[in-house]
Structure 1
Amino acid sequence: MVELDAQYRNDGLRIITSYNQFQDIKVIEDKVTELGIKFPVALDGFFDTRFEAEILCRVWVIGVDGKVVHAHKDGWELAALTELKKVKYPMLRRSRVRSDVKEAAAAFGEGQYAKAYKLAVEISDGDYSDNAVEDADYIIERIEDMSETLAHRADVHEINKRFDQAESCWRELARCYKGLEGLRDPDAEIKRIHGLEDYELEKTARHAFVATRLKAWALFGGIIDDVPATIKAAKQAAEIFDAFAKKHADTSVADAAQELGVAYKNWAKQLEDENASTDE
């Protein structure tokens, strides 16, 4: 699915899927590097719904208007091809613009947002029809909203010590928005993040946390309707997270590890109680 997203994303379509939880973290990272994925990628998000969601959708197709048009295991190919036929200016959410604005819209569709912004501003400030100015202003607003959202996302990731994700956001801003009026210098922001006192500590701990969650989840591989085996695996997973929390007590992921440890313990106890009542 990553390969498909790499194939389609420049046409304005994103295909998103959860990685197989039993893959080693290095396999995932190597694939991301191999495909040259440049937009922000969170490798540690799939587990957050483990104890709340009954089922995770297999494939999500995000359409040209930014809405989910498909969220199921089967039928995504038709949904993807249907949406691709609608794409003219990827991410613009408009299929038509006035002739004077087509160059700016084309630059937008190619992901050259700084160039598109400059062209749109020239139209907005120039001697053009009201309709052309309206289209140009729309492009300006879209680019400002997108860049501000990405910068805000970077700040949120940084506040929560997710430095890898924050850096990914700034790299995307540097690639597509650099030079945009009012945008903080992405290169300076990345350099500042690298210089933070807890940068290496948090980065190492968060990377280890991803690997730890994969290790814990792998304990359940091959277990099908075997309650005693599931209970044993849940208890072992709890021990893994407790040990991680102690080792990385001075980092932001320690609390999350403790919470997962408690969740696994509670799950094991629930299964034990249910199993005991069944035996009576």
Structure 2
Amino acid sequence: MNASEFAVLPAGADFHARRGALSIEYRWIGVDDAHAPIAVFLHEGLGSIAMWKDWPQALCERLGLRGLVYSRPGYGRSTPRASTEKWPVDFMSSQARDVLPALLDALGVSDAERARMWLIGHSDGASIALLYAASFPRGLAGAVVIAPHVFVETISVESIAQTRRAYEATAQQTNPQTTLRAKLSRYHDDVDSAFYGWNDIWLDPAFRAWNIVETLSPITAPLLAVQARDDQYGTLAQIEAIGAAVPHAHVLTLDAGGHSPHRDARATLDDAIDTFMRSRIGAR
């Protein structure tokens, strides 16, 4: 991937109404063709540009796409979350409806380009992709959602609580450089901003009622929803709910791949995305 640049978003684009502008880390990747469709990659709840590693670039080259990767506010090199700031229950909706459109505006992505644009999201990023597709049904060519969340499951909460214990286990480790916190620090300027922003809201009892299934019916763009059977953060009920809410969606179950099939079942996932997208690129 090429070196990061930064886009500045106005305060009104922030999903929790922080006063002051936001600096958003982003990179353009993929093929060098101004006429190629754009694929926007939306990272997971602890992700960033760097945590994608080389997968977005390789996928864009395979499919002949321009790619846009960015770190959401609170992540990577983007403006961190204030230590006193807690994300609201609807933080993913605001990311889809406010922050992403504002970033596209700041980068000069036209309406015509957006109509040919694909979203490729993982985990929380997949949920944001679904919410964007529902909010702008005619402003998108299609979406691929990997390990999406559309409601809260007990398995998700239990795994996220376990992740918190691992993150806070630094004092018990003989080598602090091997802890989860140390590993995540390589990818985020303010690692506590990234971790607790995500972890606190997912473990908040109020978040147990979060459910976006009924908001998905406006989606008209082609949609591929992928879930692995051995995902420790969610079950097949997630993509089954998507299939019921969006009847034209293509629902794909992987026998293995965990929560990150783009890392742990890469060849299988890439082939599935290739088959799905090639028949639809340029069709809308």
Normalised TM-score (structure 1) = 0.26
Please state which structure has a larger fraction of its residues in helix.
Answer: 1
Please state which structure has a larger fraction of its residues in strand.
Answer: 2
Normalised TM-score (structure 2) = 0.25
